[in-house]
Amino acid sequence: MALYDEVINLARSYLGPAAQKFVDRQIRAHLEIDGSELTNSDLGELAEWCYTSSKLLMNDYKAKEFSDQIRAIRNGSNI
């Protein structure tokens, strides 16, 4: 599975049907790349932006958990 798809699948468990749009916006606006160009080295920065943005949509604990899960993808594990 492509890295981008892993992030989208993870995000769906937190954001439901809005996941892809949310993640695409973070990647495009902050990383300035296309989702297909996402690499493991981008995941730390993506995790930070997803945390910052998702705090507006969910409680801080869930936003942090979401961010940590994105970082776990980079490490090849699930928390």
38 half-sphere exposure, CB direction, 13 A CA radius? 25
pLDDT digits (tens, 9 = 90+) for 15-29: 999 999 999 999 999
Residue at 78: amino acid letter: N
Count H helices, E strands: the chain?
Answer: 4, 0
pLDDT digits (tens, 9 = 90+) for 12-70: 999 999 999 999 999 999 999 999 999 999 999 999 999 999 999 999 999 999 999 99
Alpha helices in 16-74 (DSSP H): 19-26, 43-54, 60-74
* Res. 79: pLDDT tops 60: no
Q: How confident is the model at residue 75 (pLDDT cuts 50, 70, 90)?
A: confident
